[in-house]
Amino acid sequence: MKKTTGSITIDHVASAAKVSTATVSRALNRPDTVSIELKNKINSVIKKLGYIPNAGARSLMLKRSGTIGAIVPTLDNAIFSQGLAEFQRQLNQSGHQLLVASSNYDPAIEANQITNLLTRGVEGIALFGVSQQREALRLLKTRNIPYIHVGSLSAPLNGYTSGFDNREAIKLGVQHLLSLGHQHFGILAGITTHNDRAKDRVDGVLELLAEKKIHIKDDVIIECPYGLHEARLGFKKLLLNNPKITAIICGQDVLALGALLEAQKQGLRIPQDLSIIGFDDLEISRHLLPSLSTIHIDAVGMWAQAANHLISQINGVDNLPRKIKASVNLVIRESSSSPPKR
């Protein structure tokens, strides 16, 4: 094969494969219209030449960009990284590419990111949670852009969701602690402003405790960003406000890890002196000493379902389910036990 120099074009591929440019285009964009042998031949030439198809030209031909967007609150969280990896894998299987943006838990930034993705011609968008500005969601509906909410089970504007009920999920951990005999609780939560998941988790804890005639004061509900340093400070504040606390319910595993580290620094034995429950079941949670009791979320399955649902929307499939429920379960490990006798 003759070596080419400079920019490799579709003409180079066609010449090397001894076919027309139209045939190369069909093999790339409508592979079902050419034979397997011819498709393999053209793909072999493409690899040898290092040809990269022009995405803009492909979009014009197919009237589709082949791109789907996803907006998550932050990329500094393993639960999002794991989910996005599966989301991308599912999209790749259907021939779609992924564009990722983050909002830093700010609806205004998220609205701008939605606009940015639309200007890049995305065919659909996955949104995390349901705290988006309603105007941004109405824009998607006006433009007929398919979208789905991930991580929650109810959505505004009659939207589609792939997720779970955060309020009910965290009750699994609360019930576990109640069954062990705990009566004095603290809550270490994420910032609930513009974060429906964090708010629902706090509400779920308070709801179940109230049913059991346990009412906790506002000073033992500490909100902080999802960081180890902030979690350690939050833990200090909790015990300062109420030294009688025997169990801390955390809205996320990173918060639980920070609490665990600070407890150990202060000489507290976990779980003999204090029980700690997390949420999300991050990979590190099972390797801690002691290992963390937490709420496991099937993040991989949740994002896979979201991807497949979004692709179905794009392809015009009718009668799609409004809600896809992800599996949730309590994982009991070493950080929870009966309260100390005092």
For 10-61, CATH number out of 3.40.50.740, 1.10.260.40, 2.60.40.10, 3.40.630.30 equals 1.10.260.40
Q: What is the pLDDT of residues 190-229, one digit of tens each?
A: 999 999 999 999 999 999 999 999 999 999 999 999 999 9
Whether 28 and 41 have beta carbons less than 8 Å apart is answered as: no
| Residues 235/255, Cβ–Cβ less than 8 Å | no
CATH tag for 65-165+299-326 (out of 3.40.50.2300, 3.40.710.10, 3.40.50.620, 3.40.50.720): 3.40.50.2300
Joined together, the tokens standing for residue 230 give 């902030």
The ranges assigned to domains in the chain are: 10-61, 65-165+299-326, 166-298
For the segment 171-193, what is each residue's pLDDT rounded down to a tens digit?
999 999 999 999 999 999 999 99
The CA distance from 74 to 83, in Å, is 12
DSSP letter string, 191-212: --TT-HHHHHHHHHHHHHHHHT
Q: Tell me which CATH code domain 166-298 carries.
A: 3.40.50.2300
Q: In the structure, what pLDDT confidence band is assigned to residue 77 with cuts at 50, 70 and 90?
A: confident
Whether 65-165+299-326 shares its CATH topology with 166-298 is answered yes
Helices (H), 126-185: 134-142, 166-180
Tell the burial category of 60 from Cβ atoms under 10 Å away from its Cβ (0-12, 13-18, 19+).
exposed
> Cβ(202)–Cβ(189) under 8 Å?
yes
Distance CA 108, CA 63 (A): 30
